[in-house]
Structure 1
Amino acid sequence: MTSGYNLTQRPAVSEADIQRLVRSDNADDRAVATHKICRVMERGALTDSDRLAAQEIIRMLAQDAAELVRRALAVTLRTSALLPHDVALKLAQDVVTVAVPVLTYSPLFSDEDLADIIRSGGPVRQVAIAKRETLSEVVTASLADSGVEEAVVIACANDNARFSDGGMNRVMDRFGTSEVVHSVLINRKVLPVSVSERLVTIVSAALREQLISHHAIKPETAIEIVTATRERATVDMADQAGASFDPQGLARHLMASERLTPSLILRALVRGHMGFFEHALAELSGVPHERTWLMVHDAGSLGLRAIYDRAGLPARMFQTFRMAIEIYHSLQAEAGHLDPLRMQERLIERFLTQAPFAPREDLIYLYERLDRDSRGRRWTRVSEASGTDMLKAA
């Protein structure tokens, strides 16, 4: 061994260890010596010259013909910054028993290194990378594009694996029918609104199949029921998202998927999602959000009518939308201090008493929502002979 790094000066390594490493024909002996020597080098206080010499020793060990020796090297230095970058890449391309420890733990790889290995390294290496403690969007994008399902599931189950909206939607494109993927996505702390909405759609599709096969409902009727269920779930999702709700993202996604319906917009508005209403009008009309906001809030009834008509919403529903906006503004002025849930409850209550000509299905939906959200109150529904739904305090 010609390195300037004198291992025999380190008390944890004996002359016999050096002899076994250099001369022994027994792979087990060389593996034991490799482990001891790597531990000494990794834990020692090294000068710059010592570090360079130690890395030359590591390069020599990485070329050992015995898999057991290379594995001892990989396992011992799997979290060490002493491992040279070129050796880390070499070990990553070695047999899986050698590659997996460094791919799972080594801090030496760049995001681009990991992305390249995912694309070309096969399932075992993909899974090893997916198990890393943290993953950047560059790495998860590569997993979303090229990873096997097991690797994608492992990454999705890790909230420290950051996914871009595009990466997460790519996961849905490739594994959208996987119940395991559905489960891990639903349990993530944060999901892009477009992915949440796609998950809602998948559940709704299952409901449509159940309705058709088990209840002898015509497909056309089932589709109508599922559409209503999907709209309810979409607005519920907006409520549950809280501070992370992205009204612009949801409006754009619904617009692109041709599901930005008047009914959904009205239901969201009456539940207090004014930002979503503004962005929905902006998407439908092609008018920038800033100008849309002015026409809704600061240009009187003529401005509202102009943007409403440009958005292509039904003329017969304009008065209903106008009344909902007026109620929202009045409650903001009267009771802006209310928490969001109580504000929503007040909005629904007042809308139900002042907008009797709203579409019947939307009124029924709001009745049900009020019934579900009321705090400590009990409500019962009564049906008049005319079929008009009413609410009465019990």
Structure 2
Amino acid sequence: MLIPQYLTWLQTAEDGPRADSARVLARVWLQSPLDAAQREEVRAALIVLLDDPCAAVRQGLGETFAASDRTPRAVLFGLLQAEDEAALPLLRQSPLLGDGDLIVALGEDSTERQVAIASRAELSPALSAAIAEIAGPEACAALLDNAGARLVPGTLRRLASRFGGVSSVRERLLARGDLTVTHRYDLLVLRLLEQVAGCLSPADETKGDGLVSRLPAGVEEETSDRVALQVAEAASDSDLESLIEHLRRNGRLTTRLLLRALCCGRMRLVTRMLSRLTDLPVERVERVLGGEGGAQLRALLRKAGVPVRAHQTFQLALWALKDLGGTPASDLALRQARELTETLTSELQDEALGENGDILGFLRSFALDVSRAEARAYLRQAVRGQIAAASAA
């Protein structure tokens, strides 16, 4: 080979030809049969090219060597220290870079490089965890988009903790089926609070941690209750236990939520909340709620801390539940939940039932939400029926 002549030519050649020649030389290294002496000459020339004044030369090397497992180590690490145009293809693809090398690169505080690493075809649990711990939100969003990333529960927990307030990460987390019920609850609360905050006038806004920190009185509690009821609907029994413990630790396991869950037909949540508040087995609570009421029910409610003024509302909801064919052991179907809320909304108009303004206002809003959900479900079923009929025709 004529490497000495090539190096002499480089000193006077234009940028474009030098960049083209760098790609050719890289392909020679990868594809040509070279003896030991020739390989040393080519290796030396490639290293010289790392210092070329034209960035396109290094970019050509990075793109040509990107997916190869035969890149000279000195060239590989030289290109990683070069411009992003040269380094990014290697960070995205090079099989020579181990987790340790990539974790070091994550710490360079370059969004583009972090995203490139998070976009690799395969990411080990350790590297995924490092991205969740070190990288910025753009790279973490890319991590969640990466089907080749192996994410353990602890990594998802860290992503939710660091970037729950960043919508691009939060929405990707919420789209996952393996997100824990407690993190789903936390992220949904954040989402709704952001939506409320976004409706405030600029004069009412106080920026803090990416979210308006001053909200109208009661908004945070109202949002927490709504999200808890939403999450509870799709949660397994064991997930419900986790959710209730999470609510308790955060001061959200309230008698207001208990009454709202009852009036919305979320009976699995009701029985487990009462069980936690009274230290009684779930089966015992279900038997009391399924009975005729009276002294046993009042004793249960007192032990749970339910205000006396709400006892009659609680009893009324249990009677309506029985009339609809429901039981304390299972949630009501969508239609039954709507009928229950409509019954209670009508009955609670009677001021003799006590101060039920809070629960009545909530029920009216919830009844509308349920009606909308029921209408959407009906339309989806109708569309599926039309599609099936058209396919059979």
Q: Same fold (TM over 0.5)?
A: yes
The within-5 A match list for 1:260-339 is 260-281=253-274, 284=277, 287=279, 292-298=281-287, 308-321=301-314, 323-324=316-317, 327-328=320-321, 331=324
Equivalent residues of 2:59, 2:86 under 8 A apart: yes
Residue equivalent to 1:170: 162
Residue equivalent to 1:344: 337
Distance 1:39 1:309 in 2: 79
Residue equivalent to 2:363: 366
Residue equivalent to 1:185: 170
Residue equivalent to 1:381: none
Residue equivalent to 1:13: none
Among 195, 202, 208, which residue is 2:187 paired with?
A: 195
Distance 2:344 2:41 in 1: 74
The within-5 A match list for 1:90-101 is 91-101=79-89
Residue equivalent to 1:34: 25
Unaligned runs of 5+ in 1: 1-17, 45-49, 378-394
Distance 1:271 1:110 in 2: 53
Between the two proteins, the alignment pairs up a number of residues equal to 331
Deviation at residue 103 of structure 1 after TM alignment: 1.3
Deviation at residue 101 of structure 1 after TM alignment: 0.9
Equivalent residues of 2:275, 2:281 under 8 A apart: yes
Secondary structure of the corresponding residue to residue 48 of structure 2:
coil
Distance 1:169 1:342 in 2: 37
Distance 1:29 1:130 in 2: 30
Residue equivalent to 2:388: none
Q: Match for 1:189: what amino acid?
A: A
RMSD: 5.0
Deviation at residue 366 of structure 1 after TM alignment: 1.8
Give me the TM-score of the superposition, normalised by structure 1: 0.62
Equivalent residues of 1:169, 1:195 under 8 A apart: no
Residue equivalent to 1:235: 229
The within-5 A match list for 1:105-254 is 105-111=93-99, 113-120=101-108, 122-132=110-120, 138-155=126-143, 162=151, 163-172=155-164, 176=165, 181-183=166-168, 185-186=170-171, 189-190=175-176, 192-193=183-184, 194-206=186-198, 210=201, 213=204, 222-224=216-218, 227-228=221-222, 231-232=225-226, 235-236=229-230, 246-254=239-247
Equivalent residues of 2:63, 2:90 under 8 A apart: yes
Distance 1:147 1:305 in 2: 54
Unaligned runs of 5+ in 2: 11-17, 51-55, 206-212, 377-393
Distance 2:66 2:237 in 1: 37
Deviations 1:217-243 (A, max 9, x none): xx999303564355345535655x688
Residue equivalent to 1:9: none
Give me the TM-score of the superposition, normalised by structure 2: 0.62
Q: Match for 1:103: what amino acid?
A: L
Equivalent residues of 1:62, 1:70 under 8 A apart: no
Equivalent residues of 1:103, 1:128 under 8 A apart: yes
Among 56, 64, 74, which residue is 2:47 paired with?
A: 64
Q: Does 1:78 align with 2:72?
A: no
Deviation at residue 204 of structure 1 after TM alignment: 3.8
Distance 1:331 1:28 in 2: 77
Equivalent residues of 1:80, 1:107 under 8 A apart: yes
Q: Match for 2:191: what amino acid?
A: L
Equivalent residues of 2:341, 2:367 under 8 A apart: yes
Deviation at residue 64 of structure 1 after TM alignment: 0.9
Q: Match for 2:49: what amino acid?
A: A
Report 1 or 2 for greater relative contact order, CA contacts < 8 Å, sequence distance ≥ 6: 2
Q: Match for 1:185: what amino acid?
A: R
Equivalent residues of 1:267, 1:362 under 8 A apart: yes
Secondary structure of the corresponding residue to residue 164 of structure 1:
helix
Equivalent residues of 2:91, 2:113 under 8 A apart: yes
Distance 1:159 1:252 in 2: 32
Distance 1:62 1:121 in 2: 31
Equivalent residues of 2:258, 2:273 under 8 A apart: yes
Secondary structure of the corresponding residue to residue 253 of structure 2:
coil
Q: Match for 2:229: what amino acid?
A: V
Distance 2:285 2:73 in 1: 58
Equivalent residues of 1:200, 1:230 under 8 A apart: no
Q: Match for 2:222: what amino acid?
A: A
Equivalent residues of 1:131, 1:155 under 8 A apart: yes
